[in-house]
A = this chain, B = another copy of it.
Amino acid sequence: MTDATDGPDERTHVDDRFHVFDTTLRDGAQREGISLTVADKLTIARHLDDFGVGFIEGGWPGANPRDTEFFQRAREEIGFRHAQLVAFGATRKAGVRAEDDPQVAALLDSGAPVITLVAKSHDRHVELALRTTLDENLAMVRDTVAYLCGHGRRVFVDCEHFFDGHRANPDYALEVVRTAYEAGADVVVLCDTNGGMLPAQVGATVREVIEATGARLGIHAQDDTGCAVANTLAAVDAGATHVQCTANGYGERVGNANLFPVVAALEIKYDRRVLPHGALAEMTRISHAIAEVVNLTPSTHQPYVGVSAFAHKAGLHASAIKVDPDLYQHIDPERVGNTMRMLVSDMAGRASIELKGKELGVDLGGDRELIGRVVGRVKERELAGYTYEAADASFELLLREEAEGRARRYYRIESWRAIAEDRPDGTHANEATVKLWAKGERIVATAEGNGPVDALDRALRVALERIYPQLAALKLTDYKVRILEGSRGTGSITRVLVSTSDESGEWSTVGVAENVIAASWQALDDAYAYGLRRAGVEPRE
């Protein structure tokens, strides 16, 4: 590491010798299920700049109004600290001069200082998809690169289908690289567009192209063989100095090379500085934040940044981790902003429960009988469909209940009812009523909401607000429903996970029942009990 003298908060620029190039906003947006607004794209660009990538490919200006607007607003609204904005486009049309091609003009108009041009390098694609001659394709590459360079832009050339093309017609594929490089492209990027390559092939090809052309090379790998990260690293091993990736591996079909494991490998395993100082420790947060913006649940099992990436379940591992966490972790999770977790499950032994108790600040003091009782209740509840791995707060309530020998309840429910209705006049109604006892008093409250669960939540708050004003600070932040198949022959059941926050944190609770309303009710009940407990409120049932 060369940054030992930097202050801990000072982010320094990475030099130009190695490029971390992100294409989440262009290629990543091709993923099934992703649809980005301009506002989404601006937010993601800010996260990527914050993380410290060198280049952010923002889209194809001119190809659709959204991308054109993005470039305009990004220039005006974002003060990039690390990244340069890149516009993506194609070489000029066949038979047209670069200066007369409106698509090329739109690239200049975008104002982006860097332009990535996609070029065909596979002879069959030139003939079938472009429907032009091999020579004209070379001229298209040469003219467009020279024209954009002449207008002061830095140009990278993406050779689409390079690896397949190189296998089919190596001379022509090499000629495309040479042409781009000689016309002024700074980097020629070899793309495994169909994603069919394996690391050994990628390494050998990159080596051969460097020897044959002397060009500065980049790599753009798709993940169709499950090897995109390894293919990217194999290209780096062979001499490539520019890696194109997407956040969380989003992209067409299976996806692209995932930015996070690529930069983590380079920084941690290669000991190579590719990000500003301090950025790696932000990686988990940034990965999850981008998932939120694209509205996809963060992958729990993503390397380095998944919530499961440092989660330990096996009893064997738990016992060893009590001795030394490094025995079952390849790195300290804090280096990438993640944390170690012990999982509570019916596979968990006493060691896991004890460690988990410690994590939650409940000292079980090696009480074998108590720990055994907790293990027993967890097994029994998980058999019924509960899951405590994702519901720490419900587990803590269970644990404390056993440790303290009694449930701490803030109220006692007599009954509840929720109604959802589409009326003949086209209006909707969602209404709920709760009847409960709190502080010796019987309270009946009714409320309306956006839906029956929301109405129940509001009715409960109305009923309790006088006695427990602290409830006003609690906010429902997430709500997940899963239908569990009755693999044990009991018919299907519904599991609801609710996330709730107050000013200082967030917690998750679980409910399981035959239907979504009843399961939600349970999860809400736990959420409020936990929230009141956190707030230091004494139960007064």
Residues of A in contact with B (beta carbons under 8 Å apart): 29-33, 35, 37, 39-40, 124-125, 128-129, 193-196, 198-200, 223-227, 229-231, 233-234, 237, 249, 252-255, 258, 261, 264-265, 269, 292-293, 295, 300-304, 306, 308-314, 317, 319-320, 323-324, 327-331, 343, 345-347, 382, 387, 389-390, 413-424, 428, 430, 435, 449-454, 478-481, 483-485, 487-488, 491, 494, 514-518, 521
Contact = CB atoms under 8 A, between A and B. Distances in A.
Contact of A421 (B40, B199, B306, B416): B416
Given A225-B261, A252-B314, A269 B198 contact: yes
B252 A194 contact: no
A44 to B, nearest CB: 12
Given A30-B314, A417-B419, A451-B518, A329 B194 contact: yes
Contact of A328 (B193, B416, B428, B487): B193
Contacts of A414: 424
20 contacts: A30-B314, A32-B311, A33-B300, A35-B345, A35-B347, A35-B382, A125-B320, A129-B323, A196-B269, A196-B331, A200-B233, A224-B303, A252-B317, A253-B311, A415-B421, A422-B518, A450-B515, A451-B514, A451-B518, A516-B516
A351 to B, nearest CB: 13
A121 to B, nearest CB: 13
A389 B252 contact: no
Given A196-B269, A253-B310, A258-B226, A29 B347 contact: yes
B199 A308 contact: no
A253 B312 contact: yes
Contacts of A317: 252
Give the one of A194, A225, A293, A343 with max B CB within 10 A: A225
Report how many copies the assembly holds: 2
A370 B264 CA distance: 49
Contacts of A302: 226, 254
A314 B253 CA distance: 10
Give the top 3 A-B pairs by smallest Cβ distance, nearest first.
A451-B515, A196-B330, A230-B230
A418 B421 contact: yes
Contacts of A233: 198-200, 227
A303 B225 contact: yes
A431 B324 CA distance: 55
A330 B422 contact: no
Contacts of A230: 198-199, 226-227, 229-231
A348 to B, nearest CB: 10
Contacts of A292: 485
B483 A480 contact: yes
A74 B31 CA distance: 41
A489 to B, nearest CB: 10
Contacts of A310: 253
Given A30-B313, A422-B413, A516-B516, A483 B478 contact: yes
A195 B389 CA distance: 22
